[in-house]
Structure 1
């Protein structure tokens, strides 16, 4: 009986050693939050200002001063600043200021892409700047009719600039900015 017990113990020990041998545990890599946003739906925005545009229905628009707005994205901690200025023989100064504002981010930006915008039918002309990298803003634009109206726009996130972490939100808001620019009409 002793011999049989020893066989069972040896067999049991072999089974335990065989099935308990696993690979060394490895730490899991740090997970990144996946940011998915629903497809944007747009509402037409119009008030007494000399322009109209379409705005994302999830955004909150507030008029700060006469025809100067903030468009907030609370879920993304982002704000679009939209500023209107009438042209009074100062189109060169307005254009230079808008371009200067964009290129102040060149220190932190990896790349600034310029995309001209021309809508001859509605007399809306401008430039969209896509700022890539760890800059304070990821997108800016200006539009004008070259005679009476000038509007500039930029987006800022309330987070430390880290392009990799805000990229999904930045891309979403940049698409909204482009939609604002493309839907803008002068009255």
Structure 2
């Protein structure tokens, strides 16, 4: 009985000292992603056009060349962001420009099932004869940004951004915003040869 009283006394004293201030909930934390400031250099690849790429892009690869149609597939890989900008260049002929533009627009519109919004901005650089559209796609779509540019006579280039993960807009938004600036820089520095 004495052991029980001593145990009860120790338990009571412990409970009294363990009580402190009322618990306060911790503030919500947000993931902080710091990306390096973008530095650009000319892409060193033999193509019918030149552009500047972010040095964060570790690889720029020609993935397919169709010499008959003079088309090229180019991947700009960002392993640290788990994303790739896919570029497709096609030589313009007298009968393929309208279908190429229509196909690029349709590719963007295919994301409407999952997208919350699709915003398109017209792009024009008269000095370098580059005209086109940039599309920003909001929501859980497979691609967050797409674009096409042309000189309307000889050259057509379209591009899209894809990540190596299942689309979760909230999670990929910081990386998508960072790479959206790189896509716009590609468009702004594009020069046809």
Q: TM-score range by the shorter chain?
A: 0.7 to 0.9
Note the C-alpha offset of 1:115.
0.7
Equivalent residue number for residue 163 of structure 2: 157
Note the C-alpha offset of 1:29.
6.8
Equivalent residue number for residue 53 of structure 1: 51
Equivalent residue number for residue 19 of structure 2: 20
| Residue pairs, 1:133-152, within 5 angstroms | 133-152=139-158
How many residues align? The count is 175
| Residue pairs, 1:78-97, within 5 angstroms | 78-89=83-94, 90-97=96-103
In the alignment, structure 1 segments of 5+ residues that lack a partner are 1-12
In the alignment, structure 2 segments of 5+ residues that lack a partner are 1-12, 66-71
Note the C-alpha offset of 1:18.
7.9
| Residue pairs, 1:113-124, within 5 angstroms | 113-124=119-130
Equivalent residue number for residue 8 of structure 2: none
- TM-score of the pair, normalised by structure 2: 0.83
Q: Does 1:70 align with 2:79?
A: no
What is the rounded CA distance, in whole Å, between the counterparts of 2:176 and 2:86 in structure 1? 14
| Residue pairs, 1:99-118, within 5 angstroms | 99-118=105-124
Moved beyond 4 Å, runs of 4+: 16-19, 28-31
What is the rounded CA distance, in whole Å, between the counterparts of 1:123 and 1:175 in structure 2? 21
| Bigger Cα Rg | 1
What is the rounded CA distance, in whole Å, between the counterparts of 2:18 and 2:87 in structure 1? 66
What is the rounded CA distance, in whole Å, between the counterparts of 1:182 and 1:147 in structure 2? 19
- TM-score of the pair, normalised by structure 1: 0.86
**Root mean square deviation of aligned Cα:** 2.4
What is the rounded CA distance, in whole Å, between the counterparts of 2:148 and 2:19 in structure 1? 66
Q: Is the 8 A contact 2:49 2:191 kept in 1?
A: yes
